[in-house]
Amino acid sequence: MTDRPIDPDVDLHVPAQRTELHWPVLAAIAAGGALGALARYGLQSALPAGPADFPWATFLVNVSGCLLIGVLMVVITEVRQAHRLVRPFLGVGVLGGYTTFSTYAVDVQRVVAAGAPLTGLVYLAATMAAALVAVTAGMWLTRRIAGKPAGVR
Enumerate the known binding-site residues for Na(+). 96, 99
Residues making up the binding site: 96, 99
How many CA atoms lie less than 13 Å away from 44 in the CB half-sphere? Answer: 18
CA 74 to chain centre: 13
The length of the chain in residues reads: 153
- The crossing angle, in degrees rounded to 10, of helices 56-74 and 101-113 is 160
Residues 6+ apart with CB under 8 A from 114: 50, 51, 52
Do the Cβ atoms of 94 and 36 come closer than 8 Å?
A: yes
Looking at residue 147, the DSSP 8-state letter turns out to be T
